[in-house]
Amino acid sequence: MSSIEGPSKQTASILERIRQPADLRTLSTAELEQLAGEIRQLITEAVSRRGGHLASNLGVVELTIALHYVFDFYKDRLLWDVGHQCYAHKILTGRKDRLLQLRQENGLSGFPSPEESPADVFSVGHAGTSIATAIGMALGAQHNKTEEKIVAFVGDASIVNGLSFEALNNLGLVKRQLLIVLNDNSMAIDTTQGSLASLLSRVRLSHTYEDIRQTTAMILNHLPVIGKPMEEALQNLKKTIRMAISPSRLFESLNIHYFGPVDGHDIGSLIQIFKGLSELDRPAILHVFTRKGKGFTPADKNPRRFHSTGPFVMNGESVSPSPQGRTFTDAFSDALLKAAQNNPRIIAITAAMSDGTGLSKFRQQFPERYYDVGIAESAAVDIAAGLAKQGLQPVVCIYSTFLQRSFDQIFQEVSLQNLPVVFCIDRAGAVGDDGPTHHGLWDIGYLRMLPNLILISPANEKEMEGALHYAFQQKQPVAIRYPRDLVPVCPPASEIGKEPFRTGRSVWVRRAESEWVIAALGPLTAEALQAAEELAQEGIEVSVINARFAKPIDPALVELFAQGKTVIVLEDHSRAGGFGEALLAEAAQRAFVEKRPDIHTAIGKAVLLAGPDDQYIPVAKRQTQMKWMGLTAENIAETIRKLASADLSVRCKEESIRSRRQ
Distance from chain centroid for Cα 644: 40
Backbone φ, ψ for residue 533 (5° rounding): -65, -40
Nearest to 352 by CA among 372, 324, 335, 371: 372
361 labelled catalytic: no
Backbone φ, ψ for residue 190 (5° rounding): -70, -15
377 labelled catalytic: yes
Q: Which of residues 149-168 bind its own copies (CB under 8 A)?
A: 160-168
Q: Which is nearer to its own copies, 114 or 555 (CB)?
A: 114
Radius of gyration over every alpha carbon of the chain, rounded to an integer in angstroms: 28
Nearest to 393 by CA among 337, 472, 501, 453: 472
Q: Find the shortest distance in angstroms from Cβ 303 to its own copies.
A: 22
The answer to whether residue 228 forms part of the interface with its own copies (CB under 8 A) is: no
The answer to whether residue 577 forms part of the interface with its own copies (CB under 8 A) is: yes
Among 352, 587, 620, 637, binds its own copies (CB under 8 A): 587
349 contacts 378 by C-beta, under 8 angstroms = no
Q: Which is nearer to its own copies, 228 or 592 (CB)?
A: 592
Among 29, 169, 315, 318, binds its own copies (CB under 8 A): 169
Q: Which is nearer to its own copies, 10 or 649 (CB)?
A: 649
The beta strands (E) that lie in 237-368 are given as 257-263, 283-289, 312-315, 318-321, 346-350
Cα distance between residue 655 and residue 634, in whole Å:
32
Cα distance between residue 603 and residue 588, in whole Å:
7
The answer to whether residue 143 forms part of the interface with its own copies (CB under 8 A) is: yes
The answer to whether residue 186 forms part of the interface with its own copies (CB under 8 A) is: no
> Which one from 50, 77, 405, 484 is the annotated catalytic residue?
405
The answer to whether residue 342 forms part of the interface with its own copies (CB under 8 A) is: no
According to DSSP, residue 499 is labeled: S
Compose the 385-424 pattern: x for residues touching its own copies by CB under 8 A, - for all others. xxxxxxxx-x-------x-xx-xxx-xxx--xx-------
Q: Find the shortest distance in angstroms from Cβ 313 to its own copies.
A: 34
Q: Which is nearer to its own copies, 446 or 628 (CB)?
A: 446
The answer to whether residue 594 forms part of the interface with its own copies (CB under 8 A) is: no
> Which one from 377, 461, 465, 515 is the annotated catalytic residue?
377
Q: Find the shortest distance in angstroms from Cβ 584 to its own copies.
A: 5
Q: Find the shortest distance in angstroms from Cβ 53 to its own copies.
A: 18
The answer to whether residue 133 forms part of the interface with its own copies (CB under 8 A) is: yes
Helix, strand, or coil here: 171?
A: helix
DSSP conformation letters of 25-62: GGS-HHHHHHHHHHHHHHHHHHHHHH-B--HHHHHTHH
Q: Find the shortest distance in angstroms from Cβ 508 to its own copies.
A: 22
Q: Find the shortest distance in angstroms from Cβ 521 to its own copies.
A: 15
Question: Site for its own copies (CB under 8 A): how many residues?
Answer: 133
Cα distance between residue 214 and residue 207, in whole Å:
10
Cα distance between residue 285 and residue 287, in whole Å:
6
Compose the 444-463 pattern: x for residues touching its own copies by CB under 8 A, - for all others. -xx-xxxxx-----------
Catalytic positions are: 292, 377, 405
